[in-house]
Amino acid sequence: MKCKICEMACDINEHSTGRCKTYQLDGDKIIQDPELGYLGAFPVSIETIPMLHYYPAGKFLQVFSTGCNFKCPGCIARLLASRRSLGWPTLNPDQVIETALKLGCIGIVSTLNEPAANFYMFHELALKAKEKGLLVGCSSNCYFTEETIEELSGFVNFMNVGIKGHSDDSYRNCGVLSSKPVFRNIEKLHRMGVHVEVSAVYMKGKEEDVIQVARTLANISTSIPLQLMRFIPFGDAPIALEPSIGASERLCNSLHDHLQHVYLFNSPGTGLMDTFCPECGEVIIEREFYGPMGSRLLKPWSNYSCECGHSIPVTGTGAIESFSESGFMGGYRISRAFGMVHAVLTCLGIPEEERMLEVWKKISSSEALMDIHHMIQNPTSYLEYIRLIADKAGVQEKGEDLVSFIGKRLELIERVASENDGGSAYYCMGSPLFALNAGRMENNLVNFAGGQSINKLLQKEGKPGFNVEPGFINDNNPKTIFISGFLSRPLYEFYGLCKYYGIEADAVKQQRIYALPPSWDFGSPRWILGLLYIADKLHPGKLEIDIEQEANTFYRRYYGIYYSEAKPNRSFHRPSSGIWPGELTGCTHA
């Protein structure tokens, strides 16, 4: 029997559960796999989904399950999208609604995996949620049939549509035929009163395709918010496909020729997360980077009119206080937690994703994840994290081997740090004004290496940091500046921004600004290489070791390749070996 939920039109029979792997044939009808349920339910601020013009700062319950009708390389949530037999405890729709009401959420939003894979379950959830006065929405690739989109519009209030590009080629790279159904469905949803925002991935070299997305959306309505998702190469995607933050900002600004409200994501420190008045250009409300694909309002937003009289199209009343997610919770940060577990297991000789999911099942409670969140922020407690994962995987001996490798180098760095003063240092991400939180691993690496992180003077909280004034950097005059290996920008852009903002610290004057290699300072056991790198920059020549040789030793021992053979990417899991199936599209949603 043909499935009518999405344009893939899969045959569902006794041998096939379709592309999503979540449907079954029951007599003469297609049903949802009865074992399917929601794997997680966490309260979030709506901006982390992200939705920017819908009930600003509203507290929603984020839920997710498994399965997807697309196969996008570089997907940020590929493990959930792949519909494996996870065997986790699940929540049914009634339990989800009970949780939302208990936590004081105003609505429920399905994210991380594609709701087309859970359509009947999502439908049941939505109808029951509406009976309780809850708003309902989702993040989706929106590849639904016209029949489904008509039905969907009757029970969802909002949707963030993840667009892969304008060309059909960009959709073929995700295993489907064409972009046309997506734009058709956006027009239908908009016409039927569903609040729609669009996320479009921007990969280096694909500027014209993104511009065509904006033009097509403008033909529907120039008021549809467009979120430009700077491509971040997770998995085996080569870093060459990642556009710089500067290039992304230029493209984002050009899209205002077509749409009133365009925002730039995955670019810490950018000012293009703010809402500007399209008439006079005044800043209406400010936001800042809040983890992968997320943002956060810097103050409550209740007045949607500019002083010039122009009204900003926003649906719903803004919350008086923003909800702050803890630990790994909220938006797409849970997918980074997956990667951090997988990163350790890979170094323990367990690259298989099935084994990773078995371990995840044992540590996936909110309490356990919060404990892990604290453990990974410090060099010494990270060793206990390795032991925890090794124990859950039943490979304690391999865990001790990794602990011993790291421990010996910690002893060397500790000795050098005790004998030398590394001076003050500042740690930022992407922009000189985006300071990493004081308690994060990166700043603890600086202090462990014998430096004094000026970030420790900051009391404000954010994920993973927040914007500071240029005066903070100048007043504390760091001798060295480090740029995060997770999200960085080319050094020439960085120095240009320092000049633009009037940052005149010694680190700038003496050209002591260093960008860490990807995932060498957070998220992966490779942080020990980042610590060696940091210590070497703070105490030139004192370590008496060759950093590249150390990297070769680590990579050969734990990845089976030499550092010189590895292709840099942003994955916590492992460096790429260079195997990449062509110039493919990324995934803004599962």
Domains for the chain: give ranges and CATH numbers: 333-418 (no CATH), 421-541 (3.40.50.1980)
H/E run at residue 247: helix 245-254
Give the whole-angstrom CA distance, residue 65 versus residue 54: 23
Amino acid identity, residue 545? I
By C-alpha distance, which of 367, 286, 273, 355 is closest to 329?
A: 367
Sequential DSSP letters for 516-534 = PPTTSSSSSTTHHHHHHHH
Whole-model pTM?
0.90
From residue 381, how far is each of 406, 413, 449, 553 by CA, in Å?
12, 16, 16, 23
Give the whole-angstrom CA distance, residue 66 versus residue 36: 8
- In 333-465, which ranges are continuous DSSP H helix? 333-347, 353-363, 366-375, 379-393, 396-419, 441-448
pLDDT along the chain (590 residues), means of 10: 94 89 92 90 92 97 92 68 63 96 97 93 97 98 97 96 94 92 98 97 95 98 97 78 94 97 95 96 94 89 95 96 68 69 92 79 79 91 96 96 98 97 97 95 98 95 89 98 89 95 98 93 94 97 94 94 83 60 36
Q: Which residues make Cβ contacts (< 8 Å) with residue 167, sequence separation at least 6?
A: 179, 209, 212
Task: Map tokens 């053979």 to a residue.
Answer: 565
pLDDT of residue 347: 95
Q: Which residues make Cβ contacts (< 8 Å) with residue 509, sequence separation at least 6?
A: none
pLDDT of residue 331: 53
pLDDT of residue 15: 84
pLDDT of residue 420: 96
By C-alpha distance, which of 170, 183, 192, 196 is closest to 144?
A: 183
